[in-house]
Amino acid sequence: MNPGAPSNNERSGDRDLYISGLLRRTYVEGTLKQCDVDSIPEMLPYTVCDRCSLPIVLIEFTRSPEYKATRYMEAWSKDMRHPVPVYCVRHNGSESNPATFFEIESRYCPGTHLAIFKKKVRLGGEKAFVEWVQNLYQQHLWVCSRKESI
């Protein structure tokens, strides 16, 4: 844990566990999985396509109403051979209180994902968020199939 800022203590608290558990509910048998990055323990699991072994999206989660930077994630995505969307997601959930909203703000959208691009979206709970991730995966499958034909 990086003790550099007061908000960093959440990395060892229930926010991490809450979001990690929520992301794992997006699992689709044999296709969509979560992958932990053990070398960066404070990083949440990546949502990856089991077909091509690449991430389908990069998400920065926050409970804070203040601006949350996604500069590094945007740079990583732009440097990927097949860039993925980058989002900042605000929510009010924790392990003891499920989120009642998810405010999703697009920070970077590669051309391959313009069909699903919306600058801001507000979802009304966990089920809607899980479905949103699964919809991103459906768009990724189209991108993934095009990669295979290249």
pLDDT band for position 30 (cuts 50, 70, 90): low
Asked if pLDDT for residue 4 goes beyond 50, the answer is no
Q: What is the pLDDT of residue 40?
A: 61
CATH 3.40.50 fits 6-149, yes or no: no
Mean pLDDT, the chain, integer: 79
Residue 6 region by backbone torsions, left for phi larger than 0, else alpha for psi between -120 and 50, else beta: alpha
Strands (DSSP E) contained in 8-140 are 32-35, 46-49, 55-62, 86-91, 102-108, 120-123
Q: What is the pLDDT of residue 148?
A: 60
Q: pTM here?
A: 0.80
In the chain, domain spans:
6-149
Region 52-68: what's the mean pLDDT? 87
Q: Which residue has the higher pLDDT, 39 or 54?
A: 54
SS3 78: helix
Helices 14-24 + 126-149 axis angle, to 10: 60
Strand-pairing partners, residue 122, are: 103
